Amino acid sequence: MPPLMEVILLFLKLGTIGFGGPAAHIAMMHDEVVVRRKWLSEQQFLDLLGATNLIPGPNSTEMSIHIGFLRAGWPGLLLGGAAFILPAALVVAALADAYVRFGALPQTGWLLYGVKPVVIAIVARALWSLGQKAMKGPLLVLGIVIAAAYFFGVNELLLLFLGGAAVFVARSGFKRPGPGPFPGLLPLGLALPAAVIPFNLPLLFLTFLKIGSVLYGSGYVLLAFLRADFVLRLGWLTDQQLLDAVIVGQVTPGPLFTTATFIGYVLGGLPGAALATIGIFLPAFVFVALSGPLIPRLRQSPALSSLLDGVNAASTGLMAAVTIQLAQSALIDPLTILLAIVSALLLWRTKLNPTWLILLGAVVGWVAGVFVL
């Protein structure tokens, strides 16, 4: 099969079954492209992950774009990322249509009930594999410190910077480091209520383009940006509509940024959904295209390689902290705990594809929702 078709089919699949947020997506990508297909080494995968943490945008989508480029060149960059986004965008658009027609969201809690424990097991296995490479010796201590600091509320971008800087300084003989390759941050100011601005498609596109260009951090940061622009500044959404949009982004597979698809559809139908989706994801393609050629140079330079090692260790520590948080909401009763344990054992003892486990989790969740819960 041509490499480009391999990339398209892989990311269409991952975009369809990718429940659980960025940590789960990255774990599934690791299983597919490192463990099963051998497209990348552990170190290459870690370097890509570290690089995506240095630029704005959705990390898992940027990983799909990076991997597509390495496997199939520029066509792979474009179509790999698009294939990962498309399934989620279509599902979200369908839910937005139901929302507009009926004023409510379909019930999806039963699905997540069974899928979330499986996702925890998938992420745990990826963490074990990545951690062995990213957190050796002192880097293990760094990763643990980063994870602990995250639980104390320290900003994740600051932790990535500190992790990279700590290893850079330690390996360079405690010399003062020069400017690193970290992009500057645009502060998220307090948006003041404004008069309602008439809805128009060009402004919708430009607003999402701006958000995609400057957004670092978790889905909670995305919520802050969306509320500042669409509720307070433009007056196009109510708080309840915004919360409904974020809920849809969280309960559907694929990247959380498809929340933009929901908002675009509610405000402007299919044209609005298309422009919102393109606007928020387009910067990720641009940033990956610009930063991708720099990653091998980072690894070849001893000083910058130290920086990247620190970012990798910090990224793995953050991934572990987020997984612990997810586990607290996913493992809520004996059935979900059992499902997570069985999934973990199957992943460690067999070569079973995680796709089948996710489908099994969905079936268990459906059965529990219909006959038990």
Report CA torsion sign: 306, 308, 311, 312. negative
- The upper half-sphere exposure of residue 248, i.e. CA atoms within 13 Å in the direction of its Cβ, equals 30
pTM: 0.66
pLDDT category of residue 349 using cuts at 50, 70 and 90: confident
pLDDT category of residue 217 using cuts at 50, 70 and 90: low
Q: At 204, list the tokens.
A: 């919708």
The pLDDT, as a whole number, for residue 277 is 96
CA distances from 59 to 111, 152, 194, 285, 348 (A): 24, 23, 32, 11, 26
Asked if residue 80 lies in contact with residue 69, where contact means CB atoms within 8 angstroms, the answer is yes
pLDDT tens digits for range 277-327: 999 999 999 999 988 877 777 667 777 677 767 877 887 787 788 778 778
Range of lowest pLDDT (56-60, 61-65, 243-247): 243-247
The pLDDT, as a whole number, for residue 104 is 61
Mean pLDDT of the chain: 80
The pLDDT, as a whole number, for residue 182 is 35
pLDDT at 188 over 50: no
Distance CA 52, CA 239 (A): 31
In eight-state DSSP terms, residue 257 is G
The pLDDT, as a whole number, for residue 68 is 95
Q: At 18, list the tokens.
A: 């990718």
Could you give the 3-state DSSP secondary structure of residue 196?
coil
Distance CA 141, CA 149 (A): 12
- The residue whose two tokens read 């990213």 is 134
pLDDT category of residue 356 using cuts at 50, 70 and 90: confident
Distance CA 296, CA 235 (A): 45
Rounded to 5°, angle at Cα 321 from 316 and 326: 120
